[in-house]
Structure 1
Amino acid sequence: MQQRRTAGRAEKPAQPPGPGHGSAAPAAGAGVTPPLAAYVHIPWCVRKCPYCDFNSHAAGASLPEAEYIDALIDDLDQELEAVQGRELVSIFFGGGTPSLFSAASLERLLNAMSARLRFASDIEITLEANPGTFEQAKFAGYRSAGINRLSIGIQSFNPEHLKALGRIHDHREALAAVDMARRAGFDNLNLDLMHGLPDQSLEQALADIDQAIALGPEHLSWYQLTLEPNTVFYSQPPQLPEDDILWDIQEAGQARLAEHGYAQYEVSAYARAQRRARHNLNYWQYGDFIGIGAGAHGKQTHPDGRIERYWKTRLPKDYLNPDKSFRAGHRLLEPDELPFDFLMNALRLVDGVPSAWYSERTGQTLDSIANQLDDAVIRGLLQPWQQQLHTTERGRLFLNDLLQRFL
C-alpha cells in the first residue's frame, strides 16, 4: 500500500474553538489508561436529511469505495504508535450511511485492523445502516465479515413523518430491514427512533414505540428531534409540537419502554438486560477511542497521563487527497478543562460512574471540585458523590445547568 501523509504534517494545526490548548500538565494518574475503542466514519448518504448536522455528503453515481478503504488503513497506521499493546473493545462504523459500502470492503478493513490491533475476545462491532440501503445478501455478508451488531436508522414508522424527515425508506422497508437482519444472523439490534417530529401527536409517538417494541430489538435509541445549526430544518423550521406535548411524549414513552423491559441507562438509550451499547458506554465512561475517516474524532490518554483530542480532515475529497494530512487538528486538554470534559459524558448515564474513575481517567482528585459537587448536591441536582458520580432525576432534567458549574 502506498505510504502517504506523514504524521508530522499535523504537528501544529490550528486549534478549534474552546477554553484553551497547549501543553497540559501531566496528570497525577499517569500510567492508568482506560478502555480503547475505534470509530470509523463513512461520510456518504444517498441523500442528506434536512435535520442532519453530521459530516455526511450525498453520494454521487459511484463511490470511491476501494480508495477510501485504502485511506482508512493508512489513517489507522498513523495512529498505531500511540496505542500499541492496548486491546480494542469495540468498533463502530458510523456515518453517513456505512451500509452503502460492500461487505467485502468492510471485511478488508476489519482484517487490516485485526492484523494491527489486539481485539478483545468479546469485541462489539457495530454497523449503522438505513432501511433504504438493505439487501439480504449484503446483510449476511456483514455478519460473515465479523460485524455482530446493527444500528438501524428507522426514525419513525409513520409515512407522513418519514416524508417530513426526508427519509428515503418507507415503513414497509423498515419492517423488512429488521426481518432481514434477523435472518442474516444478527442477535443484537439497535433501532433509532426520534420523537417531537413535525406535527406529531402523543398517540403517534407512542405508536412508533409500540411498533419498535413489537420488533423485539435488544436496544433502542429514542431521542427528541432538535433543530441544529447548518441544517435545512434550522433555516426553514418545521412546525414542531408544543412543549406540553413534548413533555407528555417523554413521560409516556419512557413509561412504555420500561413496561416492556427497556431500561433507560443514558439520556436517550434504552436496553434489555446485558444489551447496553458497549461502544457508546466507552464514550460516556471517558474511555479512549481511535478515530479514522473523514471528520472522525479521537481521544487518547498518553502514558504520562495527558489527554489529547484530535480530529480528521472533514471533506471526503480532502481526506482522499495524498497531499493533505489525515489529521486536521489536535490539542492537549488543560487541567481546568478536565472536570467538564469528564462530567459532560459520565453524567449522561443514569447510574453515573464510580467516583474513583474520575481520578483514574483524569489524573485529578475529586477534592479539587468538591465545592461544586457539594453545591450540586444541596440544589438537588447530584446524588452524594463520595462513591458514585450520578445525577438525581432533577439533575438529568437540568443537566446543562448542572454542568455549567464545572466550566
Structure 2
Amino acid sequence: MNPTPSPPAAKGAGSRNQGTGFQLPPLALYIHIPWCVRKCPYCDFNSHAAGPELPEDAYVDALLADLELDLVHVHGRPLSSIFFGGGTPSLFSARALGRLLQGVERRVPFAEDIEITLEANPGTFEQAKFVDYRALGINRLSIGVQSFQAEKLKALGRIHDGDEAIRAADMARAAGFDNFNLDLMHGLPQQSLEDALADLRIAIAQAPAHLSWYQLTMEPNTVFWSQPPELPEDDTLWDIQEAGQALLAEHGYAQYETSAYARPGRQARHNLNYWSFGDFLGIGAGAHAKLSGPNGDIRRTWKTRLPKDYLDAGKPFQAGEKRLVAEDLPFEFMMNALRLVDGVPAERFSERTGLPLSSIASACAGARQAGLLDEDPGRLRPTAHGQLFLNDLLQRFLP
C-alpha cells in the first residue's frame, strides 16, 4: 500500500469543532523500498529497476534519518503495524532489515501485538532469507503472485512462473509464517472465466490466511497505458467477479474490503487502519503519510520520489504536504471507510475528523434514499448496491 494524496484544496483553512469527540487514531508505519528486478508494464507504483548492487546501508541510514524528522508526529503513540512495500522489499537482506527495525523501535515503541508485513515476489524467495526475516519479528508476508499461468505471467512481465509461486507459499509456511497474503489479479489480457477461476483455485489450495484479488486496470505512466493489451469484455469481467466471490466465500474467505478476502481474524490490520482513517507515518522514496495532531489538525505528506534524490543528503526528504481542511474531510474519510464491506461505526467519523455527524447528515440521507448506504444510523456502511457503485456513493460527500 502506497497511499496517494488527494488533489490540492482550493478552499481556505476551514475550521472544526473539537468538541465533537476527536481522538488521535492508532499509528502505523509504511516503509517504501523502491527497487525491483525489473519494472512491470502495468505498475504505476514508485518502483525502479535495481542495479547490480543495492545501496542497502545508505538507504537504511536515510530511512532512519527520515523517521527522525517525523517523530514530531508520533505524540506518544506506539506503532500498531509496519508495512514494507515497494518495489520489492524482499530484495533487501535480513541484515539490512534487522538494522532498520532495531532503529525504528529505538525511536518509536512497538505495540505488543504489532503486525509487521513484508511484500515479496516469488522470484526473490530464498528459504534461508525468509527464516531470517521471521526471526526479526516480521510476522506477515504479502506475496505478489498475480497469476499462476505462464502466458498471463509473461503478459504481465513477471519474472516468476506458476511453480515458483506455489513454492513461495510452501517456503513461507516452512519459514514459520502462518499469516501470509497472496496477491492475485483478474481481468488479465485475453483471460476467460475459466482461466480466472483456475488461478483462484490454485491460490486457495495454498491455504493463505488472506487473499488480495483485484482487477487489472490501465494506469497513466505505464507501458500498458500507452500500449494497451486486449482485455476481457465487460460481461466476462462481471462473470469473473461474481463467480470468484462465490468461490472465495465457499472456501471460507470473507470479503471485508473492495478487493480483500480473509479467513476469520486474519484481516490485514495495517490496511484496516488505513481504511478506517487511522494515521500512518511514511518513510522512503515516494512514501506517503496521513498524520493527525492533538488539536485535530490533519495533513497528508509525501516524500521525494527518485531514490537518488532521497539518498542525497543535501536534499530534503519531504516533497510536499497538504493540510486537510474541514471541507475536504467528509470525502477523505468516506473514500476510505466505504471501501470496507462492513463500514465503520458512525461515531468513528467524529473521532477521526473532529466534525459532527450532522455535517454529513444530508449526504447520508440522500445516499440511503438512493439505496447506496445502509439504513442503520449507527453505522456508515455501503449496501451491496453501494459497493457496486462506490464512485456514485462517494460523489455525494464531495465538497
In the alignment, what sits opposite 1:63?
54
Note the C-alpha offset of 1:118: 1.4
Alignment partner of 1:32 out of 4, 23, 34? 23
Rounded to whole Å, the distance in 1 between the matches of 2:36 and 2:14 is 38
Instruction: Give the aligned CA root-mean-square deviation in angstroms.
Output: 1.3
Note the C-alpha offset of 1:84: 3.5
Note the C-alpha offset of 1:366: 1.6
Note the C-alpha offset of 1:172: 1.0
Rounded to whole Å, the distance in 2 between the matches of 1:121 and 1:222 is 30
Residues 349-383 of structure 1, C-alpha deviations (whole Å, 9 max, x = no match): 00000000000100001211211110110110001
Alignment partner of 1:300 out of 263, 281, 291? 291
Q: Which runs of no fewer than 5 residues in structure 2 stay unpaired?
A: none
In the alignment, what sits opposite 1:85?
76
For residues 30 and 317 of structure 1, do their structure 2 counterparts lie closer, same or farther at Cα, with a shift above 3 Å needed?
farther
Secondary structure (helix, strand or coil) at the match of 1:222 reads strand
Note the C-alpha offset of 1:131: 0.3
In the alignment, what sits opposite 1:107?
98
Aligned AA (1:348): R
Aligned AA (1:299): K
Rounded to whole Å, the distance in 1 between the matches of 2:396 and 2:89 is 38
Rounded to whole Å, the distance in 1 between the matches of 2:321 and 2:16 is 17
Aligned residues of 1:47 and 1:57 also touching (Cα < 8 A): yes
Note the C-alpha offset of 1:17: 3.8
Task: Give the TM-score of the pair, scaled to structure 2.
Answer: 0.97
Aligned residues of 2:255 and 2:261 also touching (Cα < 8 A): yes
Aligned residues of 2:343 and 2:381 also touching (Cα < 8 A): yes
Note the C-alpha offset of 1:296: 0.3
In the alignment, what sits opposite 1:381?
372
What are the within-5 Å matches in structure 2 for residues 332-347 of structure 1? Answer: 332-347=323-338
Residues 196-216 of structure 1, C-alpha deviations (whole Å, 9 max, x = no match): 000000001000000001000
Rounded to whole Å, the distance in 1 between the matches of 2:315 and 2:376 is 46
What are the within-5 Å matches in structure 2 for residues 17-28 of structure 1? Answer: 17-20=7-10, 23-28=13-18
Rounded to whole Å, the distance in 1 between the matches of 2:200 and 2:144 is 14
Secondary structure (helix, strand or coil) at the match of 1:80 reads helix
Note the C-alpha offset of 1:40: 0.1
Rounded to whole Å, the distance in 2 between the matches of 1:22 and 1:50 is 40
Which stretch shows the higher mean deviation, 30-39 or 183-192? 30-39
Aligned AA (1:374): A
Percent identity reads 67
Aligned AA (1:401): D
Alignment partner of 2:134 out of 139, 143, 154? 143
Aligned residues of 1:297 and 1:309 also touching (Cα < 8 A): yes
Secondary structure (helix, strand or coil) at the match of 2:185 reads strand
Secondary structure (helix, strand or coil) at the match of 1:357 reads helix
Rounded to whole Å, the distance in 1 between the matches of 2:64 and 2:249 is 42
Aligned residues of 1:265 and 1:271 also touching (Cα < 8 A): yes
In the alignment, what sits opposite 2:192?
201
Secondary structure (helix, strand or coil) at the match of 2:69 reads helix
Secondary structure (helix, strand or coil) at the match of 2:240 reads helix
For residues 380 and 163 of structure 1, do their structure 2 counterparts lie closer, same or farther at Cα, with a shift above 3 Å needed?
same
What are the within-5 Å matches in structure 2 for residues 220-231 of structure 1? Answer: 220-231=211-222
1:325 aligns with 2:316: yes
Note the C-alpha offset of 1:23: 3.8
Rounded to whole Å, the distance in 2 between the matches of 1:231 and 1:345 is 25
Alignment partner of 1:152 out of 143, 146, 169? 143
Note the C-alpha offset of 1:122: 0.6
Secondary structure (helix, strand or coil) at the match of 1:310 reads strand
Rounded to whole Å, the distance in 2 between the matches of 1:83 and 1:21 is 28
Aligned residues of 2:16 and 2:355 also touching (Cα < 8 A): no
Rounded to whole Å, the distance in 2 between the matches of 1:369 and 1:34 is 20
In the alignment, what sits opposite 1:3?
none
Aligned AA (1:70): D
Aligned residues of 2:17 and 2:356 also touching (Cα < 8 A): no
Aligned residues of 2:22 and 2:351 also touching (Cα < 8 A): no
Aligned AA (1:158): Q
Aligned AA (2:365): D
Rounded to whole Å, the distance in 1 between the matches of 2:22 and 2:237 is 46
Secondary structure (helix, strand or coil) at the match of 1:55 reads coil
Aligned residues of 2:22 and 2:353 also touching (Cα < 8 A): no
1:258 aligns with 2:249: yes
Aligned residues of 1:54 and 1:96 also touching (Cα < 8 A): yes
1:76 aligns with 2:78: no
1:211 aligns with 2:202: yes
Alignment partner of 2:114 out of 123, 131, 141? 123
Secondary structure (helix, strand or coil) at the match of 2:328 reads helix
1:164 aligns with 2:155: yes
In the alignment, what sits opposite 1:309?
300
Note the C-alpha offset of 1:19: 2.6
In the alignment, what sits opposite 1:12?
none
Alignment partner of 1:351 out of 342, 346, 350? 342
Rounded to whole Å, the distance in 2 between the matches of 1:23 and 1:380 is 34
1:277 aligns with 2:305: no
Secondary structure (helix, strand or coil) at the match of 2:99 reads helix
How many pairs were matched up? 393
Note the C-alpha offset of 1:43: 0.3
Secondary structure (helix, strand or coil) at the match of 2:95 reads helix
Secondary structure (helix, strand or coil) at the match of 1:305 reads coil
Rounded to whole Å, the distance in 1 between the matches of 2:274 and 2:374 is 22
In the alignment, what sits opposite 1:8?
none
Q: Which runs of no fewer than 5 residues in structure 1 stay unpaired?
A: 1-14
Secondary structure (helix, strand or coil) at the match of 1:40 reads strand
